[in-house]
Each structure stands twice: as structure tokens, then as C-alpha cells.
Amino acid sequence: MIEIIVGKNESGQRLDRVLEKIFVNANTGFIFKMLRKKNITLNDKKADGKERLEQGASIKLWFSDESFEKLSGKKAGNIKDLEEKPTANKKSMETFKSYIVYEDENTVIINKPAGLLSQKSNENDISVNDLLLDYLEFDSKALNTFKPSICNRLDRNTSGLMVCGKTLEGLRVNNELIKTKAVSKFYLALVKGRVGKTGEINAWLYKDEKTNKVTVKDKPFKGADFIQTEYEVLDYFKDTTLLLVKLITGKTHQIRAHLSSISHPIIGDFKYGEKTVNERFKREYGIKSQLLHSFRLVYPNSDISDTDTFKALKGKCFEASYNNDFRKVIGDGYLENKRS
């Protein structure tokens, strides 16, 4: 017999859904058969699979270790509960900890440095997701029905605020808020030339999956999605303009390609920018990546979840200090000085 104690991340899930995640090599019919025969019990009682799990509940699996390992792909001897912790990777934990802007029991918001991937592109990459799992001491080899993850992505060379879900509820609610644009996202962008005034630009964007590059046009065309970007002129610096950009829609490379399409490419953007301008800023300031920074996240000032655990985020505004490449051009504490 193998006993599993329900953890916080499984609380509220249906028993059958959790069992499907545990028994990855079995079909739904088999799981319900085992429930009917009481080979699987909940709190030592027969269950039909529709029960909502509570933290601390006991799921008992009346299988041999060999059968369990075959059905789940996990070693039975390693299973203690649904929140087993591995030995911590101290270096990764400290690295991730240094990025944290805000944290509660469900959510952690970080200031990602430029050069760090949001998610792996190949097996050897280190990404925000990897650092998050190390920080939370998540054991990928243990039995898990939930995996903490990022809720929004940034390009490798874009710095700034990223939201991560630590729990199932944290991931679910933050994903929904971001998907429905309930969370407002603002970016700092240093662009070529003098942008005349604050404004809004609308266009259509198409992504070529093979090249991972997008095309933007001011009229609809085949396969393209509508995009909308707002921007506010903050200041001017040596043939450049500092913008505060608000994403209305949120497509791949939207800000970078959209600003480039109106002849104001982002400084340091070697995919959509202007080569001679980028080379000059690289030569004069050592700029090697685009000066685009996820600066501000604003949560809605309304009930954002039916659970009390998200009251802490209601109406909150988070800001992240910009990186060293920005400082080389606009100086330290620019925004703080402007506000004072």
C-alpha cells in the first residue's frame, strides 16, 4: 500500500483529475475501476472520483510497488506526499532571490535581467523557470500533480517584471488576469529619433515561426493579428526618446516591431533596429541588447479572485528598476528624480 498526503497545490482539485496526473500510464477507465474496487481510497473510504480534495487528506493506493511504478513512472519508495522537497540548489536559490520584487504564498514577481531566458529553448539552458523551481525546492523527480511556472514571458534580452505562480491557484489566477489584460503592463523603451508626442499606434502583425521574426503592416493581411500599442513621451536623450509604452494587445515582439514600423526602433535591438545606430551605441556605451524594460505592472482595483489569498494583490502597482544599459544612457535614478 502507498499513502499520499494531499498538499496545498492539490487542495480543491477533483480526486479523479489528480489520479490522472499520478497514473500517467493508465487510462481513465482503469482509474474508475480501481476506485470502484476500493484499490484507491480517500480518507480510508470508498470514493467515486468527483470529491474535491482538502489539504491533509489521505489517498491510499493498494498496489504493489512494481505496479505503481509501471502505472505512474515514479519510484514508489520516493513517494511521501505531494509536496516533497529535494535538497536545495543554494546558488540558484540566492540568484533567484536577488531578483524578487514581491512575494506571497501564491505569487512571486521578479525583475528579470537581460540575457536570461524565460523558458528553456534547449536542454542545457538556464531559464527563469529553472531558477524558480530551484528557489521553491521543487523536486521534478518526485510525484507532482502541479509544477510552478512563469505566467508571462519576456524576450531573452528584455529585462523587467515577470509574474510566477508558486501554487496551482497562483498560476491559475495570474494567468487569467494576464490573459484577459486585467493586469496592465508598461515598458520603458529608448528609441531612435525624436518622437513628437504621446500617442497610440494600431497595426497588424504576422509571426514567421521558422525565423522567429514578425512582420508589421498598417493594413490587414493574411495570417496577421491586430495589435495596439500606446506610448507616452517621457524625455529626450541625445537623438533618442524615452517612452513609457503600454501594451494593449500582447503579441510576440510587438513593441519592438511596432516601434520599428514607425521609424523609431529600439536602441540595441539587432533584430528590428537600425544597424548603424546600434553600432554607435555599442561603441559609445557598450550597449549589446535592446533598451526595453518591463517597468510596471498594475493589478485591477477590484475583486480579482474568489479566494481571500489574492486580496494582497488587489490594486497593487509594482515597478522594477531599469538595468545597467539604461543607466549608461539616461543615468541613475532618472525616474525618481523626475517625480521629485
Which residues are part of the catalytic machinery?
Answer: 155
Of the candidates 198, 215, 224, the residue with the CA atom closest to the CA atom of residue 253: 215
Q: 3-state class of 263 per DSSP?
A: coil
Q: Which residues contact 6 (CB under 8 A, 6 or more apart)?
A: 18, 53, 54, 55, 56, 57, 58, 59, 81, 82
CA–CA separation, 165 and 148 (whole Å): 6
Q: Please, what is the Cα angle at 57 between 55 and 62, to 5 degrees?
A: 140
Which string of DSSP letters, residue by residue, matches 128-184? HHHHHHHHTT--TTS--S---EESS---TT-EEEEEEESSHHHHHHHHHHHHTT-SE
Q: Cell digits for 144? A: 507532482
* Grid coordinates belonging to 46: 470508498
Residue 169 contacts residue 307 (beta carbons within 8 Å): yes
Buried residues in 168-201 as b, exposed as e (16+ CB within 10 A) = bbbbbbbbebbeeeebebbbbbbbbeebeeeeeb
Q: Identify the CA nearest to 104 among candidates 313, 316, 317.
A: 313
The Cα–Cα gap between 154 and 311 comes to 26
* 190, 264 Cβ separation under 8 angstroms: no
